[in-house]
Structure 1
Amino acid sequence: MTGKKEKENIQSAMKERIDYDELLNCTRCGFCLPSCPTYIETGKNEVHSPRGRIALMKGLVDGEIEPSEEVKQSINMCLGCRACEPVCPSGVRFGHLLEQARDALHQHEKKSVPKKTIRNLVFNQLFPHQNRMIRLTGLLGFYQRSGLRNTAKRLGIMKLLPDTLEMMEKVLPSVPTKREMQQRPRHLLPINRSTKKVAFFAGCLMDTVFRQTNEATTKLLQYAGCEIVIPETQGCCGALHGHSGEVNNAKEMAKRNIEAFEAADVDYIITNAGGCGAFLVDYGHLLRGEPEWQERAKAFSRKIKDVTSVLMDAGFDQLPLQVKERVVTYQDSCHLRNVQRIFMEPRKLLQSIEGVRYVEMKDAGRCCGSAGIYNITESEMSMQILDYKMKQTKQTRAKTVVTANPGCLLQMKLGIEREGLFDQVEAVHIADFLLEAYENGQKHAEDNERNSTEEFHVGKTGKITH
């Protein structure tokens, strides 16, 4: 039960933090309902819809309802996928309202000692410090490469974990060594012609657990003619904090990133993670009310660009791209699609690859259920949403599922594992897939050119000459 003092603190915080004008922008038209996964999966329960949650937020601010456990559950069960925003005729920025509400709830609710300890470790001690992320990932790599992983499985230690975490351990990529993560180049020259100078936002998990995908991304940018700067003092984007009620931490991380990239005189700041990119383009909103930072934040956000958008601008879809023949489908990153509004670029790139038979997945834009750490904190609903996603995936008969966000990638791998399809279907990040296609295409083009030259010599002399 929520105590009287806690209720008063939460209601006071809601009044202080919530943008009341934004709440009033909602006309309760219901256009958002068909786009909301939790509304659909709960049997069309209004409490778990965008307009239902807005009504609850307004009720809290107006003092008409109390911050009961049911109200908190509604706010916490939201995926934050923001699929309601593109379909809203009033343009309600629901994602902003959700972050404000969670900030008010989490800062003033009474937490158990274990919960406080875990939140402190994750939000204060780990993600803001990239050197600690590297050390932890290094330990994970040692666990994967040594005999510890096999020993843990043999002894049944993994069975002690919740089912979702046990399967998640199976689908984690092979991570680099600590030394490899520390040997990050900071300046890369274009491989072909020089077209633009860009900065690369490396991220936290992307530059540790998914380091291979980051390297694939920078190589693609080099092939596309980009000179790349990778600022050393950048860090986590702060999305996990912002979405989880740790807004003050998110602000500090945003300021650090703004300062890190201001020194780089570049055309764009490139991201390859839909969730990170969406939070980065919202820095202006995050730092609203701070005159010293707001304009700097807006200038930073204007330069954010997803890697697929840059590659399309560079004409990458006109290059020889090739993979072994297969059916391919694409799972949208919610934030890439709903916030950054990047929709067609990934699809056009995939459809330009020789050997790809592209099949559009039904409801490709519906959330897969990953949503940061949602698949851990709200595991039951996450798996329910994932089951629907896997049903649509299987109907495409795809052998390769491509996505553009690390959380989505792990979630789709998890779905493949749960369905027992690990030997039939793969999930890959679009940067890794495009790099494979580009390098295969270049090799094929070089082989054709060499064969043509040899045929020319045969035609003139009657024998092959070199």
Structure 2
Amino acid sequence: MMTAQIKQKIQKEFKEEMDYDELLNCMRCGFCLPSCPTYIETDRQEKYSPRGRIALMKGITDGVLEPDDDIAHSLDLCLGCRACEPVCPSGVQYGHLLEDARNILQRNKKQTVRVKLLRKGIFDELFPHQERMETVTGLLGFYQRSGLSKVARKIGFMNLFPENMATMEKILPDVPKRSVMKERPRFFEHEGDKKATVALFAGCLMDTMFFETNNATIKLLQKAGCDVTIPEHQLCCGALHGHNGELEKSKELAKQNIEAFESAEADYIITNAGGCSAFLIEYDHLLKDEPEWVDRAKQFVRKLKDISAILIALNFQKTHHLRLPNQTITYQDSCHLRNVMKTFNEPRALLHSIEGVQFVEMEGADTCCGSAGDYNIVQPDMAMQILDHKMEKAEHTHAQTIVTANPGCLLEMKLGIERAKKTGQVRAVHIADLLLEAVDEGI
């Protein structure tokens, strides 16, 4: 419950920090409504739509609404998928407004000691430190390899956790030993004619839990004619912090990443995680109020490309024979890759080029799957409702393989397959892993 003093402080900070011109930019036309998953899933309640949330933000900024727990819940229930932005005729930057509002509410939120310690552990002590990420995921790998995971399931230990988290444990990728992660070199030479020098944004989870997908990405880039470097001292992109009201920490991470990649002197910075890509490409906005950093951020942003975009730019699908055993495949967009990076045709073009597969477009492939970073953990009911509806659409394609381009989406689709009792009949795979399979099969 917010005290009167806290409410006044929040109103003051909204007035000082929210972009009022952007709030006024919303014409309340309603074009965003059909694209908003939470508006649809809550039987079209206006307060759970982008238009409604902007009205709430403006009401607080104008001083005509008092911030309360109901408004905070409305903002927290937003997936942050940003599907509202491409359809907005006024070009409202809803994602920026949402992050700013959450940042203000978060720093004024009264939290228990347990929550404070948990947030500090995650946002300050774990994700910004890649060595610690390697240690933690290394322990996960030991848990998987030692047989402890099977024992935990057999004795019912996982039943102590919420259903979706217990199911998630089953579908986590196999994590390599920490020594394997540490031994990988930082430079890989091109194959064939050299076409570019690229720097891989390895990511925190991508370079630990999804280590093999990063390796597949590197191999694809080599085959496309790229020298690949993995700059040292790069860290988490900061998306998790930015989406959870920790903007100052995300700015610190952004600056360290910009410095790390400046020394690489690469033609392109390559990403393979839609959620990271969308945050990275807005580093210039994140650091807009810091003159000594904004131009450096713009240089960083200009070089960013998703793995699918660089492969298409280098005509990878025309210079390599891609084939797979006969199967039907479909594609689930990463919201941030589509709505922020504007990358959606390229993955489909690559998938269409694979011999032996039938590509079937999924109805609503451009709508969120319910993952949205940590959304499926903090908002499990809404996330599972969205996911179950997504799996109904996937089933209509009769696909044996669901492809995506973001680790969170990948885990969510695997979770959906498990919940739909389709394990063994349907698989979910990252596009980089699938393309490498197709290259190897086509040799």
TM-score with structure 2 length normalisation?
A: 0.99
Aligned to 1:359: 360
Aligned to 1:393: 394
Mean CA deviation greater in 314-323 or 211-220: 314-323
In the TM superposition, what are the counterparts of 1:46-445 in structure 2 within 5 Å? 46-318=46-318, 319-442=320-443
Q: After superposition, what is the alpha-carbon deviation per residue over 1:364-403, rounded to whole angstroms, capped at 9, x for unaligned?
A: 0000000000000000000010011000000000000000
Q: CA deviation at 1:263?
A: 0.8
Listed as ranges, the gaps of 5+ residues in structure 1 are: 443-466
Q: CA deviation at 1:184?
A: 2.8
Q: Which amino acid aligns with 1:347?
A: R
Q: Which amino acid aligns with 1:144?
A: Q
Cα distance in 2, alignment partners of residues 369 and 7 from structure 1: 31
Cα distance in 2, alignment partners of residues 282 and 260 from structure 1: 17
Q: After superposition, what is the alpha-carbon deviation per residue over 1:236-262, rounded to whole angstroms, capped at 9, x for unaligned?
A: 000000011000000000000000001
Q: Which amino acid aligns with 1:220?
A: L
Mean CA deviation greater in 324-333 or 61-70: 61-70
Q: Which amino acid aligns with 1:348?
A: A
Paired residues of 1:38 and 1:48 also in contact (CA < 8 A): yes
Aligned to 2:44: 44
Cα distance in 2, alignment partners of residues 168 and 232 from structure 1: 31
In the TM superposition, what are the counterparts of 1:8-23 in structure 2 within 5 Å? 8-23=8-23
Q: CA deviation at 1:8?
A: 1.9
Listed as ranges, the gaps of 5+ residues in structure 2 are: none
Q: CA deviation at 1:410?
A: 0.2
Cα distance in 1, alignment partners of residues 255 and 329 from structure 2: 39
Which structure has the bigger radius of gyration? Answer: 1
Q: Which amino acid aligns with 1:20?
A: Y
Mean CA deviation greater in 15-24 or 69-78: 15-24
2:402 counterpart SS class: strand
Q: After superposition, what is the alpha-carbon deviation per residue over 1:267-312, rounded to whole angstroms, capped at 9, x for unaligned?
A: 1000000010110000000001100101111110111000101101
Paired residues of 1:270 and 1:307 also in contact (CA < 8 A): yes
1:88 counterpart SS class: coil
1:432 counterpart SS class: helix
| Count of residue pairs the alignment pairs up | 442
1:84 counterpart SS class: coil
* Sequence identity percentage: 60
Q: Which amino acid aligns with 1:428?
A: V
Cα distance in 1, alignment partners of residues 38 and 17 from structure 2: 25
Aligned to 1:452: none
Mean CA deviation greater in 143-152 or 194-203: 143-152
Return structure 1 stretches of 4+ with deviation > 6 angstroms: none
Cα distance in 1, alignment partners of residues 59 and 234 from structure 2: 40
Q: CA deviation at 1:2?
A: 1.0
2:363 counterpart SS class: coil
Cα distance in 2, alignment partners of residues 229 and 303 from structure 1: 14
Q: CA deviation at 1:13?
A: 2.1
Cα distance in 1, alignment partners of residues 28 and 184 from structure 2: 50
Cα distance in 2, alignment partners of residues 38 and 371 from structure 1: 12
Paired residues of 1:403 and 1:430 also in contact (CA < 8 A): yes
Q: CA deviation at 1:16?
A: 2.5
Cα distance in 2, alignment partners of residues 72 and 183 from structure 1: 45
Aligned to 1:3: 3
Q: After superposition, what is the alpha-carbon deviation per residue over 1:23-61, rounded to whole angstroms, capped at 9, x for unaligned?
A: 000000000000000000000000000000000000111
2:85 counterpart SS class: helix
TM-score with structure 1 length normalisation?
A: 0.94
Q: CA deviation at 1:354?
A: 0.5
Q: CA deviation at 1:148?
A: 1.2
Q: Which amino acid aligns with 2:428?
A: A
Cα distance in 2, alignment partners of residues 244 and 17 from structure 1: 17
2:92 counterpart SS class: coil
Q: Which amino acid aligns with 2:311?
A: L
Cα distance in 2, alignment partners of residues 180 and 105 from structure 1: 42
2:86 counterpart SS class: helix
1:87 counterpart SS class: coil
Q: Which amino acid aligns with 1:344?
A: N
